[in-house]
């Protein structure tokens, strides 16, 4: 099934004992403009429904660029409630295929350790004109000849912004959307997408852009979700919860606002409310790795040892490179007495993130508990190399040295630990360390 160069298109041949109708193609997909209604369909779109049902959902054309993105994408549309199925058609109101579904909308994780998600608001498809371009290669024998369409600068800017967003170039994305707003100041999708770019850059003005989009009558669950994310980020949890509630009212089958609302509840120690929201998010999106991770953290807080590990297992199964899931599972195993299992998870965490100093400390603790004192000292030493302010690493290394009979080295490490505890205003740890120093010196 070879892939055609520069596109996500593949050619394959199938045989069947049934006759199937052939989809009618639009004569020129370049003529489809922003705002045109579209429809997409598949089975199993409502992920909380079993058995799967056929679903047809209406959406809107966001842009139809004359410039192709990576792999032939140029048709941009909004249809977030329905899971995209690569290869399925995108229809117009006359039942003509105008594009082929390709890359689905993605929910973007905010930078660093922020667990909440914003939705970009885009799906990408391959326009029929690109599809028919390869007719000579055997995809279709009766392809119509495309008619040149007038370039649309705003669509090209949206396409460029999409490409930059998917590469993580949010400043470039913002620059394209600024130009788009200048050219079309009444386009709510431009304000919405510019809000996403600003959110990713930590710019509070994202809220104002979402407000503009809503004022221009963009009724979209994802925009309320995204505004909720921005409000939460800048401390307005009450406003964020109101936005998540509105997003859910518009689309009860949208997982992100349940997940994001659950993060606020968890941060407020309302574990039961958080658990309820995360259960719902997972029911709607069974492959939502971060929802499993967050629910695992809630179960940990509730003392459900088996449950937390089960959720971390699921998060890792979905994303085998989920660093925090390995780390938290390692801590859970260590608390449960599975020291070797904890060390294995810490090893994997370090392989994924070798500069995370605290993980070496935790692995050192696990090694000391199985009698590997030299291995523990090596790990504490690595923590100190990465983070010289780590009082715990000095403290733990000093205690191991004392156990091995190196009282001089132990006292030196404990004094360094005490100084750091005092500087960090950890009074109880400081006093405990001073008592240990006195005991060793007596």
What does 408-431 look like in DSSP terms, one character per residue? HHHHHHHHHHHHHHHHTT-HHHHH
Q: What is the CATH number of domain 1-149?
A: 2.40.10.10
How, if at all, do strands 37-43 and 54-64 pair? antiparallel
Q: Which pLDDT score, from 0 to 100, does residue 132 have?
A: 67
**Sign (positive/negative) of CA torsion 295, 299, 300, 301?**
positive
What is the C-alpha to C-alpha distance for residues 284 and 247, in angstroms, rounded to an integer?
14
What is the C-alpha to C-alpha distance for residues 298 and 263, in angstroms, rounded to an integer?
10
Q: Which pLDDT score, from 0 to 100, does residue 167 have?
A: 85
Q: Residue 315's closest CA among 335, 299, 336?
A: 299
Own/partner long-range contacts of 199-207 (Cβ < 8 Å, ≥24 apart)? 199/110, 199/118, 199/226, 199/229, 199/230, 199/233, 200/108, 200/110, 200/111, 200/118, 200/170, 200/173, 201/170, 201/171, 201/174, 202/111, 202/233, 204/230, 204/234, 206/230, 207/231, 207/234
Residue for token digits 């370090």?
350
CA 153 to chain centre: 30
Around 213, how many Cα atoms within 13 Å sit in the side-chain half-sphere?
A: 26
What is the C-alpha to C-alpha distance for residues 352 and 282, in angstroms, rounded to an integer?
26
> Who's near 168: CB < 8 A, 6+ residues apart?
none
Torsion of CA 265, 267, 269, 270, to 10 degrees: 0
What is the C-alpha to C-alpha distance for residues 123 and 167, in angstroms, rounded to an integer?
15
How is residue 295 written in tokens?
């629910």
Residue for token digits 């968890």?
266
Residue for token digits 């004109």?
129
CA 305 to chain centre: 26
Q: Which pLDDT score, from 0 to 100, does residue 315 have?
A: 97
- Per-residue pLDDT of the chain (442 residues), as tens digits, is 344 445 556 656 667 777 767 777 776 777 777 778 877 776 654 444 455 556 677 777 777 766 666 666 777 777 654 455 567 788 788 878 877 776 665 555 544 445 555 655 567 777 777 766 655 444 444 444 444 455 568 888 888 888 888 888 999 999 999 999 999 999 888 999 999 999 999 999 999 999 999 999 878 899 999 999 999 999 999 999 999 999 999 999 999 999 999 999 999 999 999 999 999 999 999 999 999 999 999 999 999 999 999 999 999 999 999 999 999 999 999 999 999 999 999 999 999 999 999 999 999 999 999 999 999 999 999 999 999 999 999 999 999 999 999 999 999 999 999 999 999 999 999 999 999 999 988 6
What is the C-alpha to C-alpha distance for residues 324 and 349, in angstroms, rounded to an integer?
7
Cβ atoms of residues 286 and 292 within 8 Å: no
Q: Which pLDDT score, from 0 to 100, does residue 139 have?
A: 47
Residue 144, judged by CB atoms within 10 A of its CB (0-12, 13-18, 19+), counts as middle
Q: Which pLDDT score, from 0 to 100, does residue 135 have?
A: 52
Q: What is the full DSSP assignment across 248-315?
A: HHH-TT-HHHHHHHHHHHHHTT-HHHHHHHHHHHHHH-TT-HHHHHHHHHHHHHTT-HHHHHHHHHHH
Q: Which pLDDT score, from 0 to 100, does residue 153 have?
A: 84
Q: Which run of H or E residues covers position 231?
A: helix 221-233
φ, ψ of residue 333 in degrees (nearest 5): -65, -40
Q: Which pLDDT score, from 0 to 100, does residue 47 have?
A: 45
Cβ atoms of residues 289 and 315 within 8 Å: yes
Residues listed for the chain: 442
């Amino acid at each position: 099934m070879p892939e055609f160069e520069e596109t996500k298109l593949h050619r394959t041949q199938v045989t069947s004992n049934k006759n199937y109708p052939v989809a009618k193609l639009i004569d020129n997909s370049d003529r489809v403009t922003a705002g045109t209604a579209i429809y997409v369909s598949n089975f199993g779109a409502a992920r909380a429904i079993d058995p799967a049902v056929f679903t047809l959902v209406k959406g809107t054309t966001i842009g139809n660029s004359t410039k192709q993105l990576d792999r032939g994408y140029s048709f941009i549309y909004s249809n977030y409630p329905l899971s995209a199925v690569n290869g399925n058609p995108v229809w117009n109101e006359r039942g003509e295929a105008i594009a082929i579904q390709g890359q689905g909308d993605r929910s973007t994780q905010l930078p660093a350790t922020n667990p909440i998600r914003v939705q970009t608001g885009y799906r990408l498809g391959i326009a029929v004109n690109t599809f028919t371009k390869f007719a000579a290669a055997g995809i279709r024998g009766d392809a119509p000849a495309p008619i040149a369409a007038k370039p649309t600068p705003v669509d090209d800017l949206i396409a460029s912004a999409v490409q930059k967003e998917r590469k993580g170039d949010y400043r470039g994305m913002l620059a394209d959307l600024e130009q788009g707003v200048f050219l079309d100041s009444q386009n709510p999708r431009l304000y919405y997408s510019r809000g996403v770019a600003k959110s990713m850059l930590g710019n509070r003005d994202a809220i104002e852009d979402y407000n503009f989009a809503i004022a221009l009558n963009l009724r979209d669950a994802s925009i309320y979700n995204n505004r909720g994310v921005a409000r939460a980020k800048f401390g307005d949890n009450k406003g964020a919860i109101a936005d998540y509630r509105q997003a859910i009212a518009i689309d009860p089958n949208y997982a992100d606002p349940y997940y994001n609302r659950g993060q606020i509840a968890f941060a407020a120690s309302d574990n039961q409310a958080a658990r309820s929201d995360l259960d719902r998010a997972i029911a709607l999106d069974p492959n939502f790795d971060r929802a499993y991770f967050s629910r695992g953290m809630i179960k940990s807080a509730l003392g459900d040892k088996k449950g937390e590990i089960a959720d971390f297992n699921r998060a890792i199964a979905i994303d085998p490179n989920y660093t925090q899931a390995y780390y938290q599972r390692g801590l859970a195993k260590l608390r449960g007495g599975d020291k070797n299992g904890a060390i294995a998870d810490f090893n994997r965490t370090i392989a994924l993130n070798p500069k995370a100093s605290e993980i070496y400390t935790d692995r050192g603790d696990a090694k000391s508990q199985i009698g590997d004192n030299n291995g523990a000292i090596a790990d504490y030493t690595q923590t100190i190399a990465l983070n010289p302010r780590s009082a715990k690493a000095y403290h733990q290394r000093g205690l191991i040295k004392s156990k091995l009979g190196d009282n001089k080295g132990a006292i030196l490490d404990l004094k360094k630990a005490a100084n750091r505890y005092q500087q960090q205003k950890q009074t109880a740890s400081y006093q405990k360390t001073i008592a240990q120093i006195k005991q060793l010196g007596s």
